[in-house]
Chains A and B, each alone.
Chain A
């Protein structure tokens, strides 16, 4: 079975604090992809990053960084020096081969609501 767990339902921080959003996944696929999407108050899901199961290198993009660890089945997302504009719901998602299927459908976690206060 494929499953994504985001244990943190809501996080509240003060601007300029660092914050880490946790994501743990389950899959029997050997080839899979992990994604993070941001959903601001406007509602539209915005793609942030994609990582394949064979690439465990951490990635940094500006204030955003991602830590992928296959040993713990985790793909955590850190925002450094958070800003009010980072306030949104963040979703972690998994895409795998599901056996013979290769549709690319996403299995989402429940999402983490991040509130950054000024």
Chain B
């Protein structure tokens, strides 16, 4: 079956612009996670969605970052007024249910470069 897909695969933007990154989870997966992978910080959790529950936003680095998940499926991560330190690979993952034991399936990521 289809895995987690993300778009675009690459995004180059100018400092100060807004960007939107999209994630399509595996069909039927109720839990969705966003992570960021950067040279200086490694792999960091950003935000988590599970069904209709309030998202866990504890990993978002600033209020310029926001995310939504429409209809319990597709998710969009928005970064406003991008800064050079936002340059990273943004990874999306989904799993069948929340829980600390669930295997998360990762997408290929979106490489964001802020000039």
Residues of A within 8 A of B (CB): 31-33, 35, 37, 42-47, 50, 52, 91, 93, 95-97, 101-111
What CA separation (Å) do A43 and B4 show in the bound complex?
Answer: 13
In contact, A103 and B106 (Cβ under 8 angstroms):
no
In contact, B99 and A104 (Cβ under 8 angstroms):
yes
Which residue from chain A places its CB closest to the CB of B49 in the assembled complex? A103
Contact of B107 among A31, A44, A105 (CB under 8 A): A44
Which residue from chain A places its CB closest to the CB of B108 in the assembled complex? A44
In contact, B101 and A109 (Cβ under 8 angstroms):
no
Interface size class of B (residues with CB under 8 A): 20 to 34
What is the 8 Å Cβ interface bit string for chain B, positions 88-115, against chain A (1 contact, 0 not)?
Answer: 0101010100111111111111000000
In contact, A104 and B91 (Cβ under 8 angstroms):
no
Q: List 18 A-B contacts (CB under 8 A).
A: A42-B108, A43-B108, A43-B109, A44-B106, A44-B107, A45-B93, A45-B106, A50-B103, A95-B101, A103-B98, A104-B102, A105-B33, A105-B59, A106-B33, A106-B43, A108-B42, A110-B42, A111-B42
For B44, the chain A residues whose CB sits under 8 A away are 108
For A47, the chain B residues whose CB sits under 8 A away are 103-105
